[in-house]
Amino acid sequence: MSEIAQRVGFIWNPDDPLDLLSVSIDGICTPYEYQGMLAINQAGRDWLESKITTEQYLEILYGWGIVNPVELLKEFSNHVDLILGCVN
């Protein structure tokens, strides 16, 4: 079972895979954090549409202050594996 599924307690299968990668921010935040939220979500979309490579995606995440982007991506791919495994 993937970590996402363990945390939420059920197998989460959103219509839009970006829901598994997107980030939110607090209401009171700095302009930098706001720009980071937009940039990270846009990069996730671009990555899902193969407009940027995995390496570029990781670079963008790291550039906006996500310390270990590989871990994040691993969790995502584990969850996708789980969903695909259930379908087959």
C-beta closer to other proteins: residue 34 or 62: 34
The DSSP code for 19 is G
With a CB cutoff of 8 Å and minimum separation 6, the contacts of 17 are 48, 80
> Is 31 one of the binding residues for other proteins (CB under 8 A)?
no
Dihedrals φ, ψ of 3, to 5°?
-65, -35
Interaction of residue 25 with other proteins, rule CB under 8 A = yes
CB of 83 to other proteins, least distance (A): 17
Binding footprint of other proteins on the chain (CB under 8 A)? 9, 16, 18-19, 22-28, 34, 37-38, 41-42, 44-45, 48-49
